[in-house]
Amino acid sequence: MILQDHVAFVTAAGAGIGRAGALAMALEGARVVLTDRNAGSVAQTAALINERGGKAEAFALDVKDDAALRQAIAQTATRYGRLDILHSHAGIQIQGRLDQVTADDMDASWQMNVRAHFVAAQTAVAIMKRQNSGSIIITASNSGVQYDREMIAYATTKHAVIAMAKQIAVDYARYNIRCNALCPGFIDTTFNAGFEAQMGGRRALEAYVSGSIPMGRFGSVEEISDSIVFLASNKSSFMTGHALVIDGAESV
């Protein structure tokens, strides 16, 4: 198992990509500490992992609470003696053009899609520097390498977080700390609610996916979780500062 005895901390692990990535890392031997704003959902993720022979614990966490986020990451490292992997996954999707999105909407997007990742990475880097090792994975989006129509808050913050991941990578490579941005396209999860509303419902979203994505389909969470394991492990030991786009060629 390529992540045997690694310690991983995951945000937004209650469903979708966060849950699938946590499960995949656990099945490769990692001990996973799972967080989500929804205590019930993340407890279900931990139960699923433990039932399948993995090692997981879960608790509720709002990543907008800087102090709580820092404390949770620090306590994980103290309890297990190290922190090998941070998957900072939490995010928000607010749709709308410049004339439709309020300044408060933009602030909410920035807080979740950039600031929370900043706080999590800053806390993890301090621990990983002492170890002289670590992998930080920040979930961005293929919206960070292209420009979605009428999604100004989402696209702006996703471009910003990719830039942040690249900056972390170049600043901390000397400490053997890697930082990469995970950039999924349309994966069939409830996170697509913003795009679905913008496009006029589920049928319209499905029509867009089938007609505009060269592969003609949604991706699956399992297709993304394989990439999470890759970025977390030594299989990607010479990869840092990369925006790993997995979107069926939508952004090409």
Name the catalytic one among 80, 147, 154, 172: 154
Average pLDDT over residues 33-40: 97
Annotated catalytic, 154? yes
**Cα–Cα distance measured from residue 46 to residue 50, given in angstroms and rounded to the nearest whole number:** 6
| Higher-scoring residue by pLDDT: 27, 218 | 27
For the chain, what percent of residues have pLDDT higher than 70? 98
C-alpha pair distances (Å), 9 with each of 70, 199, 250: 12, 34, 30
204 pLDDT tier (thresholds 50, 70, 90): confident
Mean local confidence (pLDDT), 132-146: 97
Please give the domain boundaries of the chain with CATH numbers for all domains.
Answer: 7-187+220-246 (3.40.50.720)
pTM score: 0.94
Does the pLDDT of residue 201 top 90, yes or no?
A: no
CA distance 64 to 109: 11
* Best CA proximity match to 4, nearest among 23, 27, 37: 27
| pLDDT tops 80 at residue 165 | yes
If pLDDT is split at 50, 70 and 90, which confidence band does 29 have? very high
For 80-103, write each residue's pLDDT tens digit.
999 999 999 999 999 899 999 999
| Average pLDDT, integer, range 172-192 | 91
Buried b (16+ CB within 10 A) or exposed e, 167-193: ebbeebeeeebbbbbbbbbbbebebbe
Residue 196 has pLDDT above 80, yes or no: no
